[in-house]
Structure 1
């Protein structure tokens, strides 16, 4: 028994739609770039420094004073530091003016 009747697809409809959404408009976006090593002058000649990974107080003092006078930075930041060996990346430390410049 053979069925010679072919399927009828005359009422089948098709369509295509994109999954891509309308592209957003970024024409009014503003940007700002700040350094992770922020050095800012404040009143009295005091600066700030944002601690980076791998920093220690001696290294920071050498950068600002030319010598490893870390105790000066530690004393200025006693409000947030209890141990000079436990500074964390992202902390913003006050850097007092070098001796004789205050």
Structure 2
């Protein structure tokens, strides 16, 4: 599955002096870190992808029409399921796919 968004660790900095010959506790007061939320990437706290089990006669277009109201949304379904669907014209009854939330 391709995802254009990637975690940005460019703001993470750290400094740790060696504690090899120090008998006191290490001082980590100079350590800083910044973590941006990956919520919009993984969908935590937002709309979750529903699952759908493909039935005989289903096509990605018919599933998109039924769940999103537009057959053209088949591309969104296909992209969300690249890990289980190699060819959008070859889906099989019994396959379980994700129906991603609309944006």
TM normalised by structure 1 equals 0.53
1:98, distance to aligned residue in structure 2 (A): 1.7
Is residue 91 from structure 1 mapped to residue 95 from structure 2 by the alignment?
Answer: yes
Distance between the aligned counterparts of 2:86 and 2:70, measured in 1?
A: 22
Report matched runs for 1:7-86 at 5 Å.
44-68=47-71, 69-86=73-90
Instruction: Please tell me the root mean square deviation across aligned C-alpha atoms, in Å.
Output: 1.2
Runs (4+) of structure 1 exceeding 4 A deviation are none
Distance between the aligned counterparts of 1:71 and 1:65, measured in 2?
A: 12
Distance between the aligned counterparts of 2:49 and 2:74, measured in 1?
A: 15
TM normalised by structure 2 equals 0.53
The higher radius of gyration belongs to 1
Distance between the aligned counterparts of 2:84 and 2:65, measured in 1?
A: 21
Distance between the aligned counterparts of 1:44 and 1:67, measured in 2?
A: 19
Identify unmatched segments of 5+ residues in structure 2.
1-45
